[in-house]
Amino acid sequence: MRPLDVDEPATVGPYRLLGRLGSGGMGRVYLGRSAGGRTVAVKIVHPHFALDEEFRARFRREVAAARRVGGAWTAPVLDADPDAPVPWVATAYAAGPSLAAAVTDTGPLPAHTVRALGAGLAEALTAVHELGLVHRDVKPSNVLLTLDGPLLIDFGIARATDGTASLTSTGVSVGSPGYMSPEQILGQGVTGAADVFSLGAVLTYAATGDPPFRGDSSAALLYQVVHEQPELSTMSGELRALAAACLAKDPAARPAPAAVSRSLAPDGAARLITGGWLPGPLVEQVSRSAVHVLNLDTGETVASGPVAFDTPSQTEPSVPAASATAAGAFGPPPDMNPAEPPPEPPAEPPAVPGRVSVSMAAAATPVEGARGRRLSCTVVLAVAGALALGGLGLGALLRPWSQQDGDAGAGSAPSLSHAPTAASGAPTDGTGAPDNSPSPGTIPARYLGTWQGPAAALDGNLPIGTFRVTVHRVGIGEELGRLTQTDQLGGVCTDILTLKQMTPTKLIATSTGAKGNHGGCDPAPHQIQLTPVGGNLKYTSDSSAEGNPVAVLSEVK
């Protein structure tokens, strides 16, 4: 787990975030704690999904389906807000590494651990399939190893088998290469047998340290899953026979999850796990992880040292110990009719100094005509009031999941030298008089330099982050500069501005998405204008896909 960066949110919904557990293609996962002290794992989806109506519908249904799963060997869904500007879901937190991390750190697992692992996962899948659900993404990173047994997590792409029309795009396979079943790869009907295939691949990985199918690319890997036999030469005995049966190409030839669990643990998975099922190094790792989580700083100030009681303890044997309000349990009963009402509790937990607290309760405003389009990350959410803390303006709250640490381009352009300014802040021609008469074919000095400021879309009603641009002295048809757009969750889109027209009162440029932008950026060319307003530059855009953003940019000294 990594500590929170200063630009990451301190709270999501009712949960205080303590650190980042990891990230994936769907979002980032944080360790959180409720006001009552319960530790949870909070997944926040990638912000560019937020305005995708199809994704929201699927996410809402999947959360409802996941809440139905609450049996043994699964991490239950405790809370969620699929209608938040950026949807999130909270599940019970389990102290323990993923199977992928455990095998990477310590190597293949002992045979008795693999048997207990397989029995627990098979029992979990039995319960899931009885609810009419298919997990669809059983893989090592979705299996946690805890002292109490394995846990199957992340039902984010589970789908009811008796559902109506598919909410995923035609021809799109959902799952992980190397652990997907052949029928998933081929886009055929998916049943619980697909999860059994994935279970066989997971058991092979746990026992050998390698997946049963290997390839240099995703295409080669998928081809092997469909056409080649699994590599099981390093396995032996019953485990090898069971893995081979699970990995059959024909779904009808695979055993049911209940048969797998009976084969591995005739008396149930719990019997194998009782008394210890993990090897020593993993037990030590899990124990240290649990202690670390308990000791995490929540940002709350707690007084140390002995605490004096206002009243002495009273003992009355006739009073039940479980009654918290009975006289004698923890002092006299409270006065139910006080002269003055007690003070109101704080509406929100105190914010951690230096961090931004984000409320995810507001409803997102849809962009007309946005369905099915690739939308810029700058129009994915509004964080009402959250960015006023600490004078942060409209800066990033957390880095995008599709981007590596370090925002290339954001704030990296050097400030160019330009003409001095008068006392009023307006650029001058060097003599103190305003520069209103540019030479033909040159950009007036009032535009030159680096400019930055908050941006908004939808007639200024939706804050969308921070815009930054450096304007160079160029000619028509040349690159005027690059605009970096940093949304409230740290997503960075870069647009290349090509000078199209120049007048004494405005610059008109064509804005085109730069290569290397993440999928949430709008790549379509559109027209923007830069207009002097006092000592600032006003940015306007005709990009309806981005909500026609506007920004007032101040010079960066």
Instruction: Cite the annotated binding site for ATP by residue number.
Output: 43
The H-or-E segment that residue 497 falls in is strand 492-502
For residue 523, how far is the Cα from the chain centroid?
23
**E strands within 105-153?**
133-134, 143-146, 149-152
> Encoding tokens for residue 281?
């190094």
Residue (of 98, 97, 94, 92) closest to 79 by Cα position = 92
CA distance 483 to 370: 23
> Encoding tokens for residue 251?
């779904």
Q: How many CB atoms lie within 10 A of CB 253?
A: 11
> Encoding tokens for residue 340?
């003055």
- In terms of C-beta distances under 8 Å and separation of at least 24 residues, what long-range contacts does 492-500 make, across chains too? 492/396, 492/400, 492/403, 492/407, 492/408, 492/409, 492/410, 493/376, 493/377, 493/378, 493/517, 493/518, 493/520, 493/521, 493/522, 494/409, 494/521, 497/469, 497/528, 499/443, 499/474, 499/475, 500/476, 500/527
Got the DSSP string for 277-322? -S-HHHHHHHHHHHHHHHT---S-----S----SS-----TTS-TT
CA distance 471 to 56: 39
> Encoding tokens for residue 480?
């005027």
C-alpha Rg value of the chain to the nearest Å: 29
Question: φ, ψ for residue 27 (rounded to 5)?
Answer: 170, -170
CA distance 250 to 252: 5
Measured between alpha carbons, how far is residue 521 from residues 265, 336, 398, 452 in Å?
A: 50, 58, 17, 19
Angle of the 99-106 helix axis to the 192-208 helix axis, nearest 10: 20
Question: φ, ψ for residue 64 (rounded to 5)?
Answer: -60, -40
Contact criterion met (CB below 8 Å) for 152 and 142: yes
Partners of 528 in beta bridges: 509, 541
Dihedral sign, Cα of residue 437, residue 439, residue 445, residue 448: positive
CA distance 17 to 36: 14
% helix, strand, coil for the chain, step of 5: 25, 20, 55
Q: What is the three-class DSSP state of 381?
A: coil
Q: List active site positions.
A: 137
The H-or-E segment that residue 550 falls in is strand 550-555
